[in-house]
Each structure stands twice: as C-alpha cells, then as structure tokens.
C-alpha cells in the first residue's frame, strides 16, 4: 500500500516536470522572440493562479503558479490579457511604452508554437537513436474477429479477410498515427456509409457498410471489426493456468501456437474464446510446436468463478519490437493525425465531437501512466502532444497565439492598431468560452478515467480468478 502511494506521488511529480518542460519550452519561444524584437516583458510564468515560487531578475518576474496546466509570458504591448495573466506589476509606465509593429507581434506569437514543434522534433530525434516501441501485431490489416450482428457481419466480412482500402485510402496498419490505420480511418470517417475493400482468397471484395456507434470507443462510429482486440494476432500459449486445466490434461504446452480449431483457421483471442465457449464436447486444436504441426484434442470445461467454458491458458500478448523511425516522419504523422481529427471535429457528417477530446486532466492521466510504463512510450506521446499544442495554439482564435497573429495581420492591413476596448472584449469573451470548454472536456476526461479504472479493476479481478482457476470436474 505504501509502495503504491509512493509510486502515485512520484508519477504525479514526474508528470508536473514533463508538463513544466513542455510549457517552459513553448513560453521560452515567446520570451526570446519578445526580447529579440524589443518588447517589454513583465512576467514569465509556468502555471496559472497564485504563485508558489518566484524571483525577479532583469526587470522580469519569473514565477511558478499553483495550477500546472499551462503558462504565459506577460507582454503588455501585445494585447490586453489581464483576465489570464493578472495586472502588470512592473515599475514601467505602460502608457509610455512605444507601440510595436505588427511583424514584431507575429514573430513573438509564432515562436511559441515553433518551439513546441522543435521540442517534438527533439523527442522524435531521441526516439530515432534509442528506439521506439511498436506492437508488431498492429502492422496487420487482417481481420481476426467480426462481432455478431454488426454491419461487417451482416455484409459477410469474415476472420482472415485482408482489408486493403477504406473509403479509397490504402490501409497498412491496424492503428497508427497519420494515415493508413484501419481504426483511425473508420473512426474519423464521415458520410452515411464506409466503403471497405478487402481481399479473400485472392479475390477483391467491396462492401458499403453503414457504421453504428461503438460503445467501446465512446460511441464513435464502428462497423464491427475495428476494435484492437479484433485484429489478427498469433495465438501462442503463454502459460497453462493450473495442473488440472483442460489444456494441461490434453498435453498443451507453453509456446504452442494454435492455428485452427476443428479444422477452422483462427485469427484472434476473441475468435478462439467464442469458439471454445460455444463448443459442445471436445475440440481439435491444430497447433505448431517448435515448427512441427500436430493435433491435440481438448475438452473445454466450465471455469466456476467466470461461469464459462475455458481450456485454461493465458495467451501471449506482448509482441513489441524496437523501431527507429525518421524524426521528420514521426512529426509528420502527428501533424496528419491532428489535421484529420480537427477536420472530423468540425465536419457535421462525422461522429467526432468535443467530448472525445482530452483536456489537461486526461493528458495528465495519460502522462502519469506512461511515466510508470516505459520512457520510450512517454517520449512518443510527447512528440504527438507537442505537435498538438503547436497546432491548437495556431488556431486563429482570441487568447491563442493564432489569435494574436490574426489581430496583427488585421492591424497591418488597417495600418493602425485595433481598438483596445474591442480587443479586450474579444479576449475576455473567448477566455470565458475557453474556460467553459475546458470544464466540459475535463468532465468527460473524468468520466473516461472512471470507466477505464473500472475496466482495469475488472481485468485484475479476472486475472486473479484465472490465477486461482477452478474447473468443473470432467464428465465421465
């Protein structure tokens, strides 16, 4: 218990450091550009709200705020931002500060997102040298299981079918950043139907499927085979649960690979689980043992704690390998994913909505889990996160860097500064809208975390039950 608490504290502190570095680099871009362009800098803050630490040097106050989800560089000559940054507390008379050019405003605003891009590139470069974890089974486009009653099942899609294209776009992986992922192509699609092109026994088959809400993906669209559990993966025995398990009695061993049940090829854990659960009597497993084919007869029995038929094995589920992807490709894939997501978000024909986005709480939770899991996975997420941060900040909305750039262009075209009251009104209005949006997204973050936590607990209970598996006696 104490160890778990210490791990929680350490992970939270670690996430604060990761967040802090991300925010620091972004704001450093604004700070250096402002200095370069001769702007007056009042404050450099990591975090919002009352300061918990700070000092003053060179006329600039450097502080750490108590709310770690963001930061800012206070630049009074850019735009009125008191609702976010608080009142300017320097000794300089702001009314006597010289006006700055639109170009200086554009450069100062742009350098924040630019530095976020550079940080993403730095993380991607690090992964290029140390390697990035990749699940080998995600490189497949072969269907491993089709859910009963789904659009895909109704159309006749079968396990073993190889998906070639979705809506005309070639797919190369089950799930990946950028383009070419089956899961993303289906979830981010729009329109009443999804065109699926697949290959079966060398024949090209085309289906027009009408998507339905997928409860496993927060109601986003699905067709019945897109879940990660439904992809093809080798069915390799990791271990036998108990000495009296049906698999042990039949002579099944660790490292055996199941390739067929009763002569029917099997492609996924979901598929073989369904076949075993619905079996009547013994089943014949076609296996590969040290590369040699053989058949073993197994009689599934009722596992009492789980109340369903099982043979008593744990399947291997760790198929990772280290890859060394080009840093520019990593950033490009994150850019493409962000672009496709934003398009789906504003497309009325898409099922993607604001509730599917992650806010500070959701990002904080993901970072915490990755920090406890694997440093490489954390760095991979940091690439994606910093690209997202840069793109979102470049949106032409007040409060954001893109808003400052837009206002500067308007000033450039008008050849005179925008009215301060108009600017203040726009900034304040969008600040309120942004806070409301963040609260909305955070609410759904909490719901998502709660659902995930409940599912994890259920899986742990299942694992504990498996570890103490009790099978019904063999029928005589």
Percent of the chain past pLDDT 90, that is, above it, reads 45
Element (H, E) at 68: strand 60-74
Mean of the pLDDT values across residues 138-159?
93
Give the pLDDT band (50/70/90) at residue 15: confident
Structure tokens at 55: 């000092």
Which position has the higher pLDDT, 387 or 434? 387
- Report which DSSP code applies to 16: H
pLDDT reading at 122 higher than 90: yes
SS3 289: strand
* Lowest mean pLDDT, pick from 50-54, 342-346, 467-471: 467-471
Residues 412-455 have pLDDT tens digits of: 888 888 777 888 888 888 888 988 998 899 898 898 888 887 87
User: What is the model's pLDDT at position 158?
Assistant: 93
Percent of the chain past pLDDT 70, that is, above it, reads 93
Segments of 262-403 assigned E as strands: 264-265, 283-289, 292-298, 301-303, 308-310, 313-315, 320-323
Average pLDDT in the chain: 87
Give the pLDDT band (50/70/90) at residue 34: very high
Segments of 167-222 assigned E as strands: 169-170, 194-200, 203-209, 212-214, 220-222
Q: Could you tell me how many helices (H) and strands (E) the chain has, helices first?
A: 12, 18
User: What is the model's pLDDT at position 92?
Assistant: 58
Nearest to 159 by CA among 294, 276, 259: 259
Residues 153-195 have pLDDT tens digits of: 999 999 999 999 999 999 999 998 888 999 999 999 988 999 9
SS3 336: helix
Give the pLDDT band (50/70/90) at residue 196: very high
User: What is the model's pLDDT at position 1?
Assistant: 66
CA distances to 15, 27, 226 from 69, rounded to whole Å, are: 11, 13, 33
Residues 69-111 have pLDDT tens digits of: 788 888 887 776 655 555 555 555 556 777 788 999 999 999 9
pLDDT reading at 285 higher than 60: yes
Radius of gyration of the chain (CA): 28
Residues in the chain: 476
Integer Cα distance of 253 and 67 in angstroms: 54
Residues 6+ apart with CB under 8 A from 461: none
User: What is the model's pLDDT at position 467?
Assistant: 60
Integer Cα distance of 26 and 40 in angstroms: 18
Integer Cα distance of 250 and 313 in angstroms: 12
User: What is the model's pLDDT at position 85?
Assistant: 56
Mean of the pLDDT values across residues 219-246?
90
Query: Which of 153-162, 301-310, 341-350, 354-363 ranks highest by mean pLDDT?
Result: 153-162
Residues 6+ apart with CB under 8 A from 399: 81, 84, 427, 430, 431, 434
SS3 content of the chain, % helix, strand, coil (to 5): 45, 25, 30
pTM listed for this prediction: 0.85
* Lowest mean pLDDT, pick from 6-15, 52-61, 124-133, 162-171: 6-15
SS3 78: coil
Mean of the pLDDT values across residues 238-256?
88
Bridge partners of residue 24, in order along the sequence: none
> Nearest 5 degrees, angle CA 30-CA 32-CA 35?
105
């Amino acid at each position: 218990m104490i160890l778990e608490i210490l791990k929680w504290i350490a992970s939270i502190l670690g996430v604060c450091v990761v967040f802090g570095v991300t925010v620091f680099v972004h704001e450093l871009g604004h700070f250096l550009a402002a200095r370069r362009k001769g702007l007056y800098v009042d404050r450099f803050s990591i975090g919002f709200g009352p300061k918990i630490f700070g000092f003053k040097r060179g006329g600039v106050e450097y502080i750490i705020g108590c709310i770690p989800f963001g930061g800012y560089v206070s630049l009074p000559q850019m735009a009125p931002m008191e609702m976010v940054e608080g009142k300017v507390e320097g000794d300089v008379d702001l009314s006597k500060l010289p006006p700055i050019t639109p170009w200086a405003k554009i450069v100062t605003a742009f350098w924040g997102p630019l530095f976020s891009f550079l940080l993403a590139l730095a993380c991607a470069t690090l992964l290029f040298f140390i390697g990035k974890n990749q699940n080998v089974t995600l490189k497949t486009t072969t269907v491993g299981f089709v859910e009963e009653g789904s659009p895909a099942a109704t159309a006749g899609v079968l396990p073993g079918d190889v998906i070639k294209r979705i809506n005309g776009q070639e797919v190369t992986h089950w799930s990946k950043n950028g383009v070419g992922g089956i899961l993303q192509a289906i979830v981010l699609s729009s329109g009443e139907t999804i065109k699926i092109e697949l290959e079966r026994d060398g024949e090209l088959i085309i289906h027009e499927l009408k998507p339905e809400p997928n409860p496993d993906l927060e109601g986003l669209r699905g067709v019945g085979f897109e879940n990660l559990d439904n992809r093809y993966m080798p069915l390799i025995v990791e271990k036998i649960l108990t000495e009296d398990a049906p698999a042990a009695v039949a002579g099944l061993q660790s490292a055996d690979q199941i390739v067929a049940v009763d002569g029917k090829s099997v492609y996924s854990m979901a598929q073989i689980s369904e076949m075993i659960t619905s079996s009547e009597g013994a089943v014949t497993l076609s296996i590969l043992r040290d590369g040699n084919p053989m058949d073993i007869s197994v009689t599934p029995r009722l596992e009492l704690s789980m109340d369903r038929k099982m043979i008593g094995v744990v399947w291997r589920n760790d198929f990772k390998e280290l890859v060394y992807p080009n840093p520019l490709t990593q950033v490009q894939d994150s850019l493409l994913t962000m672009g496709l997501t934003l398009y789906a978000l504003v497309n009325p024909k898409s099922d993607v909505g604001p509730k599917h986005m992650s806010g500070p709480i959701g990002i904080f939770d993901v970072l915490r889990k990755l920090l406890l899991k694997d440093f490489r996975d954390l760095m991979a997420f940091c690439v994606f996160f910093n690209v997202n941060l840069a793109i979102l900040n470049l949106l032409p909305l007040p409060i954001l860097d893109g808003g400052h750039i837009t206002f500067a262009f308007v000033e450039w075209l008008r050849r005179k500064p925008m009215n301060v009251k108009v600017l203040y009104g726009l900034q304040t209005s969008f600040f309120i809208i942004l806070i409301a949006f963040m609260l909305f997204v955070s609410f759904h973050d909490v719901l998502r975390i709660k659902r995930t936590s409940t599912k994890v607990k259920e899986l742990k209970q299942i694992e504990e039950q498996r570890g103490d598996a009790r099978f019904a006696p063999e029928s005589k």
